[in-house]
Amino acid sequence: MKKNMFNSSGPRNLVIVVLVIVGSLWLLTKVVDPKRNTEEYKYSQFLEMVEKGGIKVATVSGPLIVGTTKDGKRFETIMPADQGVWEKLAKNKVEFSVANPQTDINVWQILLFVSFLIGLLIVWYVFRQSKGGASGSGSNVFTMGKSRAKMFLPSTIKEKFTSVAGATEAKEELLDVVDFLKNPEKYKRLGAKITRGALLVGAPGNGKTLLARAVAGEANCPFFSISGSDFIEVFVGVGASRVRDLFAQARKHAPCIIFIDEIDAVGRHRGSGLGGGNDEREQTLNQLLTEMDGFETSKDPVIVLAATNRPDVLDSALLRPGRFDRRIEVPYPDLVSREQILKVHAGNVQIDPELDLKKVARGTPGFSGADLANLINEATIIASKKNQQMVTMQDIEEARDKVLLGKELKTIALSEDERKMTAFHEAGHALIRLLLPKVMDPLHKVTIIPRGRSLGVTHSMPEREKYSSNKEEMLAFVRSALGGRIAEEIVFNTIATGAGDDFVKATDTVRDMVCRYGMSEKLGPIVYSQQQGGFVYSQETAKLIDDEVLRITNACYADAKKMLEDNRDKLDVLANALLEKETMYASEIYELLGIAPREDHKLI
């Protein structure tokens, strides 16, 4: 939407400033003009005044004579070639002097000319800043207090709820907002007060901004988008002014939606800091609170949507009913949602028809929507480098390993002993997982190719979304985590540093069992919390917790060691196969070890 520059406040003020500067310069030239009170005489009049003694002072500059009469009046006249004028001036006792016409320059005129040039430069600079300057920021003295929100007309918003894969519950919550924007009278007839604000809460990359645009697209109304940091400025009062301007614009275009991204930049708890910067942020927040309470002055509805991944730091006044009435969670996508998101992003890519996106979705638990988009893009880049015609499952696997672990380290030259130890380490993890099929996620892949900070990795393939774990599953995870170190000890009769990260995961799991989930028979169903690095329980209790964590971990270690010792032949076969192939998938391992795959694992 184009704007008439004379209808906007900034350029209109610019025109006023230009007129004021030009007018001031004109008045100044009139005030200091030496000819302002000078009377022009004919030469005959001048001679007559000389004869009568009426001239007091005269200065001859070429053909020009300027001077002062006895009664204080200034005059000037043009002198013809008259050599007798000097005698007449001397005879009538007129004080006269002769000036060089080439050096008789009016200093005031020079200063005025320079001032005028400086004024023009100032006007040019201000106008350039009003248009955005070199940086294109559009920030200047006239628009500093104006909102930086970008306005999108309904015709430019293409997103609908069908454009957002997953987030089913969030879309259901937002349907109420859409319905109110479309049919406000439907609610007003019964006296209902619709939500004035909705807070979208979720980790980065899960589609909060996309959901907000989809609401505007569904409601077919204008959409104002701004970041919380855009309100804050170094000058005090600017943030509050921008908030006022934003809501004033929104009311003019109501019904509409205001979307504030990363609202925690301006909505943090008041009184949490000192200094002018904090005062400015609090003034901005106060103005935002006031504006959200003033919606009843607008005939048409204005809905505020805000997004944050830090709801814990927001001021309580911002979250009370009447402002942000609803808190809408936008979680990480589940299995079904991940498959839908993958289909959306794969729609613009040449995908192998045999590529099973459901299998990809099962192998990406904890991925956000942005992570899944990046996964498809990385796989496409890998396929393009290989000059392939389409993206295959192998490209997806390589992309996932790259995203999770880092790029393959081809320059690392491991010794044969290091490769052998890595192979037995990963074989220990995998074999424990295969020997505990009922309480472990199915095995998917084992590799000893170094990536990132890892020399090898054992992947599992979750069969479904899991929202809780039982004690047996957690103990099985600990046994599998310890399996790598145990295999090294059994085969090489030594211990190495490769199990450091495994021990961290195992210890954290056991400590959670003891301190958070009440899974210790000795300590019972009590939560032992730890806050800001300091334990909130006694030293005696801390020792009991440490003893119980050690007991459970040692028990898991002993169980896993017995399992690997009883299946030493399978451990050797799997490790030697890894040394040869470097990467093996679950189907190959099942066949190699003569283990029947579990029924639900046949989905792979």
Active site residues per annotation: 426
β-pair type (302-308, 256-261): parallel
Does residue 199 contact residue 238 with C-beta atoms inside 8 Å?
no
Backbone dihedral angles phi then psi of residue 429, each to the nearest 5 degrees: -60, -50
DSSP one-letter code for 40: E
DSSP one-letter code for 496: -
Nearest to 200 by CA among 286, 262, 157: 262
DSSP one-letter code for 145: T
The whole-angstrom separation of Cα 178 and Cα 416 is 64
Residue 262, exposed/middle/buried by CB under 10 A (0-12, 13-18, 19+)? buried
Of how many residues is the chain composed?
604
Residue 483, token pair as written in the block: 């399996």
Give one word for 167, left, alpha or beta, with left for phi > 0 and alpha for psi -120 to 50.
Answer: left
The whole-angstrom separation of Cα 318 and Cα 479 is 47
Does residue 448 contact residue 579 with C-beta atoms inside 8 Å?
yes
DSSP letters spanning 197-254: EEEEE--TTSSHHHHHHHHHHHHT--EEEEEGGGG--SSTTHHHHHHHHHHHHHHHT-
β-pair type (324-329, 197-201): parallel
* Cβ-Cβ contacts under 8 Å for 204 (sequence gap 6 or more): 309, 368, 370
DSSP letters spanning 274-313: -SHHHHHHHHHHHHHHHHHHTGGG-SS-EEEEEEES-GGG
The whole-angstrom separation of Cα 485 and Cα 557 is 9
Neighbours of 46 (CB within 10 A): 22
> Which spans in 41-81 are helix H?
43-51
The whole-angstrom separation of Cα 574 and Cα 382 is 29
Edge-to-edge order in the sheet of strand 256-261: 150-152, 223-227, 256-261, 302-308, 197-201, 324-329
